Structure 1
Amino acid sequence: MAEGTHMKKLRQASAFLVIGGLAFVVDAVTYNALVFWLDGRGPMFDAPVPAKIIAIVVASLVTYVGNRYWTFNDRHLPPKLSRYVLFVVFNLVAMGLQLGCLWFSRYVLGLDSVLADNISGTIIGQVLATAFRFVTYDRFVFPHENAPASERA
């Protein structure tokens, strides 16, 4: 890999992690507000999986905007329905990774504390989902496409 390409990938990975960190905060704050609120039992305490879905959807909007306009801003990306469909599909898979971690902790291990939910669904689930998103966004959602000759001139 050429030095310039290596530095470009490093910059993209760094930007992706910053956006991921912001999305992590949005996810965690949204989830904890819905499930635990201030007194330990939020409005969705008994529905942690739907609450996590809401939190992930809100955080996914942050990741799309941040990654499209910062992480992968060097790419010529004409509007395509397929790009949005792929974004949604890959985010559904990533959501499944996060929800699976939360579900396992809640319903298999029987853990329902703030700490357990945040370790399983927000930390472990988010790390797995973020790694998956980086690979799929880079290759499929925001791929390198050549600009038409009329735009290059």
Structure 2
Amino acid sequence: MPDLSRARLRRAAALGTRFLLIGGLSTAIEVGVFNLLVFVFGWDVIVSKVVASLVALINAYFGNRQVTFKDRDRRGRRQEILLFVIANAVCTVLGAVLVWAGGALVEVVTGSQPGPILLNAINLFSIAVVVVARFGFYHLVVFRVPQAK
């Protein structure tokens, strides 16, 4: 393999690793807040999903800006935050729809609402799907590649 390809592969692996580490921390925050809101405070599942996603979003922005995409061009903090919020609004809606659809599917199949373990499995599945969507948005739109000079 040529050196250029190896270097590109190493950079991609490093970027992916940093993204997954920040994402892992954000996921832990999201899961913790979700469970706290649903099972301790008795909040609605969908409202809890949205609030938990928004809480994790704060960690995700700063972690990705300062760690994952630290070498990327900065287009201005306001524009970057706006794009970040739009990308994550889409991802939050996607996550909430997946949780709703998974819960509805379980209810149709079993005749009852999912319990805590199954509900968390559905939530984790939604998070996995959203991680892929977020990486695409962040990589291609929010934290753009430095411009050649």
- TM-score interval for Structure 1 and Structure 2 normalised by the shorter chain: 0.7 to 0.9
**Cα distance between partner residues in 2 of 1:69 and 1:112:** 38
Aligned partner of 1:53 among 50, 54, 62: 50
1:43 maps to a residue whose letter is G
Contact 2:74-2:80 within 8 A present in 1 as well: no
Measured in 2, the distance between the counterparts of 1:133 and 1:33 equals 24
1:125 — aligned with what? Answer: 126
Q: CA deviation at 1:69?
A: 0.4
Counting only pairs closer than 5 Å after superposition, residues 35-46 of structure 1 correspond to structure 2 as 35-37=38-40, 42-44=41-43
Letter of the structure 1 residue corresponding to residue 8 of structure 2: T
**Structure richer in helix, relative to its length:** 2
Confirm or deny that 1:12 pairs with 2:15: yes
CA-atom RMSD in angstroms: 1.8
Any unmatched runs of 5+ in structure 1? none
Give, in whole Å, the separation in 2 of the partners of 1:4 and 1:77: 24
Q: Answer whether contact 2:19 2:68 (CA < 8 A) is retained.
A: yes
Deviations 1:23-66 (A, max 9, x none): 110000000001012xxxx331xx11011111000111111111
Question: 1:115-144 deviations in whole A, cap 9, x for unaligned?
Answer: 1221112x1100110001111101110012
What TM-score do the two structures reach when normalised by structure 2? 0.86
For the residue of structure 1 that corresponds to 2:42, the secondary structure is coil
DSSP-derived class of the 2:87 partner: helix
Q: Distance in 2 between the 1:113 and 1:52 partners?
A: 16
CA distance in structure 2 between the aligned counterparts of 1:140 and 1:24, rounded to whole angstroms: 22
| Deviations, residues 64-118 of structure 1 (Å, cap 9, x unaligned) | 1111100111123142433222211111111122111210122343233111221
TM-score normalised according to structure 1 size: 0.84
Match of residue 81 from structure 2:
84
Alignment of 1:130-145 (within 5 A): 130-145=131-146
Distance in 2 between residues matched to 1:78 and 1:133, nearest whole Å: 19
Q: Show the counterpart of 2:36.
A: 33
Number of matched residues? 141
User: One-letter code of the match for 1:131?
Assistant: V
